[in-house]
Chain A
Amino acid sequence: EIVLTQSPGTLSLSPGERATLSCRASQSVYSNYLAWYQQKPGQAPRLLIYGASSRAAGIPDRFSGSGSGTDFTLTISRLEPEDFAVYYCQQYGSSVSWTFGQGTKVEIE
């Protein structure tokens, strides 16, 4: 099973700042099959990015994904008040099991 480790656990930033979230895989993710989700309290996760760098429908362009192999990054160029949430990465390249990272909380400083 591919283990995804997200860092940092919590990111304290102010609106307007840039957020950089990391997701590291225990082994290479096949074809960069990696997605990012945003989850707010009491809500289901929302797909932001798939294929490591493709934005899902309706996602603002301040969200971008990058990376390959074992190291992936989600960047939020300028934080809006609605962006403070928990973010999860997910790999779906393994033929055995799809797995998620443990999450990064982006909180208001």
Chain B
Amino acid sequence: QVQLQESGPGLVRPSQTLSLTCTVSGGSINSGDYYWTWIRQHPGKGLEWIGYIYYTGGTYYNPSLKSQIIISVDTSQNQFSLKLSSVTAADTAVYYCARVPKGYSYGYLDYWGQGTLVTVSS
């Protein structure tokens, strides 16, 4: 069974870059059968899709966050990563990584990591 695990600092200073990594186990990122995505959830709020990456490195980002985001993949480590630049308190959230089955109707998220809380504060 596939498992995803987020890792990274829990506290980031304002204007700095938030960096998170998702490690995938129980399956290979370069199988080609999935996209790999980031989602965030502001405290007590709903879910916001951030962007996704394919094992080839192709990406698609939420247009509202595009200027801040870089998502990358390291197939040798079976990991993908998120960098969010110039963060403010509004970027405080639980960040999830998740898997998206590739296919004609791709876009739903079938496996999720447990999430990691990132607080932006000085």
Contacts and interface: CB of A to CB of B under 8 A. Distances in A.
Interface string A80-109: 000000001010110011111111000000
A46 interface: yes
Interface string B86-113: 0000000000101000000111111011
Nearest to A98: B49
Contact of B108 (A31, A90, A97, A101): A90
26 contacts: A1-B64, A31-B105, A33-B105, A33-B107, A35-B107, A35-B108, A37-B109, A43-B114, A44-B113, A44-B114, A46-B112, A47-B108, A47-B110, A50-B105, A51-B105, A51-B108, A90-B47, A92-B107, A92-B108, A96-B63, A97-B64, A98-B49, A98-B107, A99-B49, A100-B47, A103-B46
A13 interface: no
B48 interface: yes
Contacts of B48: 100
B interface bracket (residues with beta carbon within 8 Å of A) = 20 to 34
Interface string B27-67: 00000000000000000011111000000000000111000
A41 to B, nearest CB: 11
Given A92-B107, A100-B47, 13 more contacts: A1-B64, A44-B115, A45-B47, A46-B112, A47-B109, A57-B110, A88-B47, A90-B49, A90-B107, A90-B108, A92-B106, A100-B46, A100-B49
